[in-house]
Amino acid sequence: MIDFFYHSRMKLQELTYLVAVADHRHFGRAADACHVTQPTLSAGLRNLERKLDLVLCERGPRGVVITRVGQPVVDQARRVLAEAQRLEHVARRDRSPLTGIFRLGAIPTIGPYLMPHILAGIRARWPDLRLYLVEARTDPLLADLRRGALDLAILSPPVADKGLQYDRLYREEFFLALPAGHPLGRKRRPRLADLAGEPLLLLDEGHCLRDQVVEFCRIGDAAARDLIRSSSLETLRNMVDAGMGCTLLPALAVKPEAAGEIRSLARPAPFREVGLYRRNDYPDVESAELLAATIRDCLPAALLRP
């Protein structure tokens, strides 16, 4: 009996590796998503292929390719992992909601700024909840949600995935961050049109916040590629303070003590929505909705409730 459960658990881990490779199309990124080394992931996949006597994936010029016979295995692996997660929730069904381990993801432009406002309130209301927090860009978090590696994720819509649904958490306005003494600082509420011709600082590609700013400011793809880019909001803020350009910051990322100047934008000011995402077949809907309600109750005044 012990051997049966041991080997079953190992097989679930191997299926997790396979789905991660299918999602990321890259062994290194898949290993990072599974929190293992690349040799460990590769060995797990080889073991799975040996058990099934199939070649499931191959290295191609554009990354990892799932083979024709491997794709049905990937599809079934997703179903098996989803059912395993459902079994885990069934086992704790008789407990109170929001107990045990919950794996919560958040994008980097939300997590560091929102969590300090909500974690104490969540802990006070749900003392038996153990949150495991994962910070990553949108695409890796979506992959983790689909394969069941995350229970929930805090993202900014729109998210083009019909297999997911979300509870609205809040709306967050954007503010204009300017170097000290910048001419636009003399305006009480600058307009987005005033940024034409200004050196605008953006996040790297892959951040949904970058795409939102590009859309707000109606910047073409070619022009966006020529703008100065950075990997984090904190670096963008420091670049603004150093006089390298201006940028748009979400409300929670605004720091009054910054060396530059912060201005509200002319109405209607640009904003983003933020939601708590889960799979359509996520088994613990009650806990997801309760966590969303708790987060909304703990929001700071700078954010707008839905």
How far is it, in rounded angstroms, from Cα 17 to Cα 30? Answer: 7
Give the orientation angle of helix 138-146 with respect to helix 2-24, to 10 degrees. 140
Tell me the domain boundaries of the chain. 2-90, 97-170+273-297, 172-271
pTM equals 0.75
Same fold across 97-170+273-297 and 172-271:
yes
CATH number of 97-170+273-297: 3.40.190.10
Find out whether 269 and 254 touch, Cβ atoms under 8 Å: no
CA 302 to chain centre: 22
Contact partners, residue 149, CB within 8 Å, separation at least 6: 16, 20, 33, 34, 103
pLDDT per residue rounded down to tens, the chain (306 residues): 334 333 444 478 899 899 989 888 899 888 888 888 999 999 999 999 988 888 999 887 778 899 999 999 998 888 888 777 777 766 655 567 888 888 999 999 999 999 999 999 999 999 999 999 999 989 889 988 888 889 999 999 888 888 899 999 999 999 999 999 999 999 989 998 898 888 888 888 778 888 888 888 877 665 556 576 778 999 988 899 899 989 999 999 998 776 678 999 999 889 999 999 999 988 889 999 999 999 999 999 889 887
Q: Any idea which fold 2-90 has?
A: Arc Repressor Mutant, subunit A (1.10.10)
Which CATH architecture fits 172-271?
3-Layer(aba) Sandwich (3.40)
